[in-house]
Structure 1
Amino acid sequence: MNLKIFFKYIVYIFLIILSFINFGLTLLIIFILQIPVIRKSILGRLPFKLEKEPWSKKETFEYKKNLWLDVYFPKEKSEHLILFAHGGGWISGYRRQPNNVSWYRFLVSKGFIVATIDYRYGFLNEIEQLVEDLSDAYNFVKNNINVKKISLMGLSAGGHLALYFGLKHKVKLENIVSYYSPCDLLDIWKSESLFARFAVSTTLKRLPSKSKDVYKYYSPISYVEKGVVPILLVHGMKDKVVPYISSVKMYKKLRSFSNKAKLLLHPFGDHGFEFILKDEKTKSILLKTVDFLKGDGYD
């Protein structure tokens, strides 16, 4: 290798390292600006006193190379599994965060099997790869866990992936539950959250000013038609990250096709409100979520 080519490779490597450093610094700054949101998302708990381990066993599987899922089995036999996708703006989050584990405890205590996954992050991968991960996880549990019913559930970005995958790919599901998710990705640009705008533009690798078609393509609302699975949408009306109007628009479109759908709004809820608020309204929404997952309370 001659000296010119050698230095050329050195320059390329330096530029790659520099780009990662710049990205990391940008991400750190945005995270610092959003500390209250991140803190409550990671450390929050649902407003119920729950047994620490209400499951009979927990098993961990590598559902594809370097990606894992945990399956929590209730103490009584169940044939209904909830495939759960965590939030984090497509670029962060982890299946074993305390807030997510709080959800698993709650759902398992109500008699569901819960399978919770990690998926690749949007800053190093295309959004289609994140959807592929959810698809592979769905196929894994369908083929390896003995159940008759599978529901999809997700928080925020995880709810977006659940809605998009379930509606576009038309897989066999009992229902879908989505908490404070962007159903129309363009709605994020009406948000005051710098983190939300950064997260969606990083994941889609585009800004909406020149790529509205891409934003529409990956918006679950674009795939609503007659005969989709029952869908529950939950949102706080004080959400500063994802405007609640996104769920309202989705609900109206679902009902315009006479689909079974339900919209639950908390008048004082911010993003991740169920981990912060301890009021009766929050508890009622959580219990209605369980009813919906079991097939009750459909409109």
Structure 2
Amino acid sequence: MDEKRSVKFFNKLTHIAKIILFTKGILILSSFFLAFSNFLLFLTVVVILNVPLLRKSIFGRLPTDTKELRKSNVLSNQETYEYLPGLFLDVFYPSFFTESKKSQSVKGIVLFAHGGGWISGYRRQPNNLSWYRYLVSKGFIVATIDYERGYKAGIEKLIEELLQAVVFLENHLSSKLGINEKVSLMGLSAGGHLALLAASRIPERVKNVVAYYSPCDLLDIWHSASIFARFAAATTLKRLPTRARDVYERYSPINNITENYPPTLLVHGLKDSVVPYFSSVKMFKTLREKGLAAKLLLHPKGDHGFEFVLRDRRTVDIIEKTAQFLEGKLW
């Protein structure tokens, strides 16, 4: 009788334990669901608040990107490669570029990193294609990459991916085409930030670097009114500056300038509402104080992504000087 009672008691305890475990599982799943829902809600609000910025970032184009240029199929001489598992790289060649005339009038090689706050954007956005068309039409070989999202990969992984793209491009041009020129790095916003940091890791292999409206000191983002900029930085670095100031300083280009840092062009609009223009000004001053070649171009009316919106002479002049700089001319 006692044995039957024991078995019955044990079965009852087992049943209760199962109920507790099931309830606990439901609560855990619910908490995950609520957390994910809150994240999506917050992300949706951030996107809605930044619709004008996102629209011009994705669909804008350069004032030099004429209807004739867009119809000319200037990007038709193109190849695509998987430079890392799941990540792709496009290479666009000037129309005159062939196997037999591969070195004829090539102005340089540009590896382009798109913007998007490290957490969005892609290599074939219309605004990015506008830059590729312009540079290829000027005689540059332009390579462009996708990189992983910052919220998943983290900042160090994004830098490593850009460095791997440099190695892949160098090997491809050398082994397949016999071209052994240094690569120029160029990026917009977060892409410019990555380009500046990558240049500090391999300065001897980079011809020059161009960064448009990029955070050269990541702490400057916290002086911005942009919720998206602060959210993107905290998501990519996995920390807030109040708790990990050293991490923000470690991944700020201004703190990674080497003695042989390549010639640098910084471009910014004085009306930038996402990344304060003084971030580029500080970087420029630091480069010059160290005796390094650096240029700074400011647009008095420029907001973030101004070259895709404004059509004035100053914008066109900045774009043209960018091409000259990439060619190696310091004007």
1:46, 1:221 → 2: CA distance? 28
Do the aligned partners of 1:167 and 1:223 also contact (CA within 8 Å) in 2? yes
Q: Deviations over 1:49-89 (max 9, x none)?
A: 12442135111111111111111111123373211000000
Q: Deviations over 1:184-219 (max 9, x none)?
A: 000001111111111101111111112111000000
Matched residue of 1:175: which SS?
strand
1:10, 1:79 → 2: CA distance? 62
Letter of the 1:129 counterpart? K
* Residue from 37, 44, 48 that aligns with 1:32: 48
* Residue from 112, 125, 134 that aligns with 1:84: 112
Question: 2:136 is matched with which residue?
Answer: 108
- The answer as to 2:275 corresponding to 1:242 is yes
Moved more, 68-77 or 27-36: 68-77
Normalized per residue, which structure has more helix? 2
Question: 1:72 is matched with which residue?
Answer: 92
1:230, 1:211 → 2: CA distance? 31
1:26, 1:69 → 2: CA distance? 32
Q: Deviations over 1:217-258 (max 9, x none)?
A: 000000123321000000000000000000000000000011
Could you list the runs of 5+ residues in structure 2 that have no partner in the other structure?
1-16, 98-105
Do the aligned partners of 2:107 and 2:138 also contact (CA within 8 Å) in 1? no
Inter-CA distance 7–60: structure 2 relative to 1 (3 Å threshold): farther
Letter of the 1:61 counterpart? Y
Letter of the 1:120 counterpart? E
2:155, 2:83 → 1: CA distance? 19
Larger Rg: 2
Letter of the 2:80 counterpart? T
* Residue from 20, 38, 54 that aligns with 2:36: 20
Inter-CA distance 79–65: structure 2 relative to 1 (3 Å threshold): farther
Do the aligned partners of 1:79 and 1:149 also contact (CA within 8 Å) in 2? no
Do the aligned partners of 1:168 and 1:220 also contact (CA within 8 Å) in 2? no
The Cα RMSD (Å) is 1.8
How many aligned residue pairs are there?
297
Q: Deviations over 1:7-66 (max 9, x none)?
A: 656655554444333222211110101111111111101001124421351111111111
Relative to the length of structure 2, the TM-score reads: 0.85
Inter-CA distance 14–166: structure 2 relative to 1 (3 Å threshold): farther
2:163, 2:22 → 1: CA distance? 42
1:117, 1:17 → 2: CA distance? 33
Do the aligned partners of 1:164 and 1:218 also contact (CA within 8 Å) in 2? yes
**Structure 1 residue 262 displacement after superposition:** 0.3
Question: 2:155 is matched with which residue?
Answer: 127
